[in-house]
């Protein structure tokens, strides 16, 4: 891509295969004609050759075997993206980026391979990696990230604007106080104005990046879009980090007048009406997190953990209250504060909340006996109700149902990832939290699933298998464990190792991140009694296991 200079005429020489073309401020010249010292306006732009084509040269371009499949766009469309800078050249070797290393998630040139990627087994052509980029998770997540960041900034700017307006509400004070009042008011207003200007600049930057992303999606080549997605993502990360640093601790000012105690009786005997005081209340403005720079990214090899290195340490085992004779501890999760939520599909219309030390905190009312649940943020969870065709988003602060998402099928296992809900409902249905169905994966799955930033995991009970697929529904691996009979809960640790609870066999099994190995971790002798629900908390590195008999246990993974 080439950035504009603002000059009326800008000539760019392309060295290599003797290509040359001229871009005017209002038109683009034909590259092949320019090579022959002819001046003709281009009607099309080749995103692969990166040069303009007149009508005649376009026909030649389409007739040649090596170029007939190149993507051509109109010069008007090219004008929309010509100033978006995307580097197609290796900064270390000054060569064209032609390869992509899956292990390190980076585009490389031929010179990079022997120096930095000799041991990497998954270096593949960049054009192959960039295929279907427009439908990729990385692009969708970047668009979501930009949308969420813009919404955050809009809310923060509104908050700071309201705080600024509050300062402008002044009472009519005695003339002698006005000077001091204006001085204090000015100091407060200056601080708020500086932050507000910074936030507005960030908002403009994010809106510009959002527009660039949209233009790239519409007009750029697959490789340009693939690289542009990652380069823009880094800029977004930097901008979001700057905003979060700026709003960590911001003041709200309240200007008050402290009246003199003898103001009424001694109005004529005192030389001042009172004193100005400023109360500064520090507040932390909320910034809703969006997971950045993670979609489609594999963990570096050194961070992946072989299952033989997994160690368990029992932290706490406790009994869960029985509300009915029959029990099915069908779902569980851990809240950000460390408390545990447990669902009993054959119990009462409640979710049971326990502390991490096993103390019963409260029962949270539900519309039906809940089947499974997942945490959305500090205040909200999403709950499924099995053979009831809906999902509810509950606010834990006031126990109010914020939204009810109706479905055409029964709703069982659920997981929340990157602003999306993944629900087992006649396949795997992906929805945003407003209820909009984004995608439906037609897979034969059991009742439980789990997600990470780039993968979906689910069980198939009939053939004793666990499946790992990409967000685009591409199979990554399938692992079969004959000893597993009645597969229930599933969860994934930091290293993408998969844990499976088998109710009938009284086993906790782990499958290695690459699907190539598995082993039994816990059995009935370790206290398992029909294990049915699992949850791993990555922040606290804890595994929660709920048994059908009513007990639960928390383990530290080391």
Over the stretch 365-401, which tens digit does the pLDDT of each residue have?
A: 999 999 999 999 888 999 999 999 999 999 998 999 9
- C-alpha 28/C-alpha 47 separation (Å) is 14
pLDDT tens digit sequence for 138-180: 777 788 888 888 888 888 888 788 777 766 654 544 555 667 7
Which has more confidence, 530 or 254? 530
pLDDT tens digit sequence for 498-531: 999 998 889 999 999 889 999 999 999 988 989 9
pLDDT of residue 4: 37
pLDDT score of 14 more than 70: no
- C-alpha 100/C-alpha 117 separation (Å) is 10
Q: 373 near 430, Cβ under 8 Å? A: no
Residue 301 pLDDT level (bands cut at 50, 70, 90): very low
pLDDT of residue 17: 33
What average pLDDT score do residues 45-66 get?
91
pLDDT score of 20 more than 60: no
**pTM score > 0.75 for this model?**
no
CB neighbourhood size of 212 (10 A): 21
User: Which pair of structure tokens corresponds to residue 317?
Assistant: 């085992």
Residue 31 pLDDT level (bands cut at 50, 70, 90): very high
Q: 199 near 289, Cβ under 8 Å? A: no
Q: Which of the residue ranges 176-180, 228-232, 350-354, 487-491 would you say has the lowest mean pLDDT?
A: 176-180
Q: 335 near 343, Cβ under 8 Å? A: no
pLDDT score of 227 more than 60: yes
pLDDT score of 270 more than 70: no
pLDDT score of 24 more than 80: no
pLDDT of residue 347: 86
pLDDT of residue 9: 34
What average pLDDT score do residues 1-16 get?
35
Q: Which of the residue ranges 211-220, 385-394, 471-480 would you say has the lowest mean pLDDT?
A: 211-220
Paired strand residues for 500: 490, 509
Q: 522 near 506, Cβ under 8 Å? A: no
pLDDT tens digit sequence for 186-199: 888 887 888 888 88
Residue 1 pLDDT level (bands cut at 50, 70, 90): very low
pLDDT of residue 211: 84
With 0-12 / 13-18 / 19 or more C-beta atoms within 10 angstroms meaning exposed / middle / buried, residue 305 is middle
pLDDT of residue 428: 95
pLDDT score of 88 more than 50: yes
Which has more confidence, 459 or 295? 459
pLDDT score of 218 more than 90: no
pLDDT score of 302 more than 70: no
Categorise residue 429: left if φ over 0, alpha if ψ from -120 to 50, beta otherwise.
beta
Which has more confidence, 421 or 242? 421
Average pLDDT, the chain: 82
- C-alpha 344/C-alpha 326 separation (Å) is 10
- C-alpha 420/C-alpha 147 separation (Å) is 14
Burial 152-184 (b: 16+ CB within 10 A, else e): bbeebbebbeebbeebeeeeeeeeebeeeeeeb
pLDDT score of 6 more than 70: no
Three-state SS across 370-402?
CCEEEECCCCEEEEEEECEEEEEEEECCCCEEE
With 0-12 / 13-18 / 19 or more C-beta atoms within 10 angstroms meaning exposed / middle / buried, residue 258 is exposed
Residue 341 pLDDT level (bands cut at 50, 70, 90): very high
Helices and strands: H and E segment counts in the chain: 8, 34
Which has more confidence, 22 or 244? 244
User: Which pair of structure tokens corresponds to residue 324?
Assistant: 């009915």
Cβ-Cβ contacts under 8 Å for 484 (sequence gap 6 or more) = 464, 500, 502, 505, 507, 509
């Amino acid at each position: 891509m080439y950035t504009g200079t603002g000059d009326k005429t800008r000539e760019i020489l392309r060295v290599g295969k003797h290509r040359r073309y001229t871009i005017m401020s209002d038109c683009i010249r034909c590259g092949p004609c320019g090579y022959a010292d002819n001046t003709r306006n281009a009607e099309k732009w080749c995103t692969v050759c990166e040069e303009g084509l007149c009508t005649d040269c376009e026909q030649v371009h389409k007739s040649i075997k090596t170029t007939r499949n190149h993507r051509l766009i109109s010069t008007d469309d090219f004008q929309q993206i010509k100033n978006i800078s995307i580097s197609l050249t290796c900064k270390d070797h000054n060569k064209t980026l032609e390869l992509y290393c899956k292990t390190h998630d980076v585009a490389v040139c031929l010179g990079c391979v022997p120096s930095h990627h000799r041991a990497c087994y998954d270096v593949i052509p960049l054009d192959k990696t960039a295929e279907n980029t427009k439908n990729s998770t990385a692009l969708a997540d970047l668009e979501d990230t930009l949308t969420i960041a813009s919404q955050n900034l809009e809310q923060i700017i509104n908050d700071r604007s309201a705080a600024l307006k509050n300062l402008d509400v002044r009472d009519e004070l005695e003339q002698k106080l006005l000077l001091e009042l204006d001085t204090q008011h000015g100091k407060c207003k200056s601080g708020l104005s500086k932050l507000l200007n910074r936030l507005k600049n960030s908002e403009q930057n994010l809106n510009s990046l959002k527009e660039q992303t949209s233009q790239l999606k519409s007009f750029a080549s697959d490789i340009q879009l693939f690289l542009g997605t990652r380069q823009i993502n880094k800029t977004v990360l930097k901008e979001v980090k700057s905003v979060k640093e700026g709003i960590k601790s911001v003041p709200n000012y309240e200007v008050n007048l402290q009246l003199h105690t003898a103001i009424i009786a001694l109005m004529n005997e005192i030389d001042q009406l009172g004193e100005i005081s400023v109360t500064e209340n520090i507040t932390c403005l909320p910034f809703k997190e969006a997971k950045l720079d993670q979609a489609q990214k594999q963990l570096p090899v050194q961070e992946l953990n072989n299952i033989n290195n997994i160690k368990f340490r029992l932290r706490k085992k406790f009994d869960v209250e029985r509300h009915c004779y029959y029990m099915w501890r069908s779902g569980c999760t851990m809240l950000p504060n460390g408390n545990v939520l447990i669902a009993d599909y054959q119990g009462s219309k409640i979710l049971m909340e326990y502390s991490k030390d096993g103390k019963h905190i409260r029962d949270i009312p539900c519309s039906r006996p809940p089947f499974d649940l997942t945490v959305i943020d500090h205040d909200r969870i999403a709950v499924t109700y099995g053979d009831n065709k809906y999902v509810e988003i509950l606010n834990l602060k006031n126990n109010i149902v914020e939204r009810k998402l109706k479905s055409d099928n029964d709703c069982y296992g659920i997981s929340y990832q990157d602003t999306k809900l993944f629900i087992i409902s006649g396949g795997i249905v992906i929805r945003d939290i407003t209820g909009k169905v984004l995608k439906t994966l037609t897979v034969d799955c059991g009742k439980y699933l789990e997600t990470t930033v780039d993968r979906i995991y689910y069980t198939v009970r009939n053939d004793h298998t666990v499946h790992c697929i990409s967000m685009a529904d591409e199979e990554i691996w399938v692992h079969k464990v004959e000893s597993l009979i009645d597969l229930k809960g599933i969860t994934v640790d930091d290293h993408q190792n998969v844990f499976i609870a088998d109710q009938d066999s009284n086993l906790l099994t782990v499958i290695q991140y690459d699907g190539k190995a598995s082993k039994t971790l816990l059995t009935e002798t370790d206290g398992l009694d029909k294990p049915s629900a699992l949850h791993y908390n990555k922040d606290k590195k804890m595994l929660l296991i709920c048994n059908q008999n009513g007990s639960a246990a928390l383990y530290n993974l080391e």
